Every structure is written in structure tokens, then in C-alpha cells.
């Protein structure tokens, strides 16, 4: 498994909230990355998704989205991934079958551009990975 990991929003929430429900393989990959000194990558699009989740009330968090995001990305070993023009354009040009969610498309394009493995529970991203278009690890 590649130690270079990109956290989907659900993975960031589970880690930030110390949720014990994360899959064993994902926990082990996170531990392995930490031991190897590999940063955990977080896309800026995750801040937007956290805000949407807070606004919808779908995912209860112990802190407001902006506080949770800022706190998490300032932890040692976490690297904030900027959105570049190339990533945004490439998110529109992904191999078929396309993933319909714009934020997930940006995560996929980020992972592809930077050779990262997405840690996610999103079934469509996991299916896209099974089709060979990106690497993903179920959390």
C-alpha cells in the first residue's frame, strides 16, 4: 500500500472525532504512514464539504466545521493540498465512468495528480478505484 494518503471528508471527520468505527486496514495504513513520516494530505475542497455537512446537519461534529478543519490541518504531519488549475480542469476530464459529485471528482483528480491513495468510505470512489482509475482504501 502506498503510504501517501489523501483523506476524504469522512476519513478526516472520523480521525478528528476519534471515531472507533474506521476499518482496520485504513487504521493500519494511517499508522504506517505516520511511522514512515508520510504526511496525511487534505484537499481544500474538504473545507467546503465540511461546511455543507454542518449546514445540512447530516453529520454531527463536536466543533464547528471551520474550527474542526483549521485544527486538523494544523496538526503535525498533515499537509494541506491546494487546488490548482490543472487539478480542477482534470477533475472535469476523468476517465469514464465519471463520478457525478464535483467535490469527489476534485479529490480523485488530486489523488491522480499527486500519486495519492484516497482514504474513503464513498462507494462510488471505491468503485472508481476498482475500475483502475485511482487508488482508494475503504475506511
pLDDT in tens, 97-121: 877 899 999 999 999 999 999 999 9
The domain ranges of the chain are 5-138
Question: What does pTM read for this prediction?
Answer: 0.90
- Cα angle 46, 50, 35; round to 5: 55
User: For the residues 40-61, what does the mean pLDDT come to?
Assistant: 91
Q: What distance in Å separates the CA atoms of residue 31 and residue 93, rounded to the nearest whole number?
A: 33
Picking from 43, 47, 46, 40, the residue whose alpha carbon sits closest to that of residue 84 is 43
> What CATH fold (topology level) applies to the domain 5-138?
Rossmann fold (3.40.50)
What is the predicted pLDDT for the residue at 1?
Answer: 53
139 in Cβ contact with 23 (< 8 Å) = yes
Half-sphere exposure of 58 (CA within 13 A, CB side): 10
- Region of poorest pLDDT, from 12-21, 69-78, 97-106: 12-21
59 in Cβ contact with 68 (< 8 Å) = no
- Region of poorest pLDDT, from 25-34, 51-60, 126-135: 25-34
117 in Cβ contact with 6 (< 8 Å) = yes
Taking all residues of the chain, what is their mean pLDDT, rounded to a whole number? 90
Amino acid at each position: 500500500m502506498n503510504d501517501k494518503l489523501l483523506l476524504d471528508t469522512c476519513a478526516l471527520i472520523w480521525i478528528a472525532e476519534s471515531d472507533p468505527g474506521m476499518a482496520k486496514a485504513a487504521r493500519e495504513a494511517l499508522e504506517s504512514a505516520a511511522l514512515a513520516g508520510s504526511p496525511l494530505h487534505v484537499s481544500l475542497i474538504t473545507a467546503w464539504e465540511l461546511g455543507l455537512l454542518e449546514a445540512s446537519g447530516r453529520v454531527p461534529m463536536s466543533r464547528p466545521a471551520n474550527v474542526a478543519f483549521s485544527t486538523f490541518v494544523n496538526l503535525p504531519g498533515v499537509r494541506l493540498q491546494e487546488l490548482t488549475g490543472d487539478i480542477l480542469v482534470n477533475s472535469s476530464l476523468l476517465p469514464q465512468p465519471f463520478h457525478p459529485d464535483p467535490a469527489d471528482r476534485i479529490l480523485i483528480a488530486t489523488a491522480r495528480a499527486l500519486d495519492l491513495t484516497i482514504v474513503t468510505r464513498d462507494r462510488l470512489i471505491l468503485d472508481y478505484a476498482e475500475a483502475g482509475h485511482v487508488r482508494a482504501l475503504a475506511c
